[in-house]
Amino acid sequence: MLVCDKIPRNLIYAPMYKVAYTFDAGPNAVIFTLDDTVAEFVAVVMHSFPLESNGDKFLKGLPVRPAPLSDKLKAALSMDPTPGGIKYIIATQVGPGPQILDDPHAHLLGPDGLPKPTA
């Protein structure tokens, strides 16, 4: 929840929603945003959670170049930086969504609806 507490309100809603979040089955925050907000959001996260030792492995997935933070945005951050508060960011994008598979060998489930045994 710490990541979500650090997101300034003017980044979340200014004047339309720019960032939404939820959590996966564990403690990981899952952030949803549009392409034009990614660099600014990553910059806020990197400012709020300064790197301790994994600088070259902090940003994973799709390439992201953090945007410079304005003084106004820095002032809007609600808490002092928390070094090492997160391990890394994985930048991804939405895939094509559900698809019909015509090849029966491509399915993970057998005809009985149960997972196929691994070979």
107 within domain boundaries: no
Chain-centroid distance, C-alpha 13 = 17
Say how many domains are in the chain.
1
Dihedral of alpha carbons 15, 81, 93, 114, sign = negative
Please check whether residue 104 lies inside any domain of the structure.
no
Which among 35, 90, 24, 31 has a CA at the least distance from the CA of 57?
A: 90
Full-model pTM: 0.67
pLDDT tens, residue by residue, 67-102: 898 888 888 777 788 888 888 889 999 899 998 888
Q: Is residue 3 within 8 Å of residue 29, measured between CB atoms?
A: yes
Tokens of 31: 């952030």
CB distance 109 to 116 below 8 Å: yes
CATH code where residue 36 lies: 3.30.70.890
Averaged pLDDT for residues 24-35: 87
Q: Report the C-alpha gap between 92 and 76 in whole angstroms.
A: 26
Query: Could you tell me the residue range of the domain that residue 19 belongs to?
Result: 2-93
Q: Which residues pair with 29 in a beta bridge?
A: 23
Return the higher-pLDDT residue of 101 and 16: 101
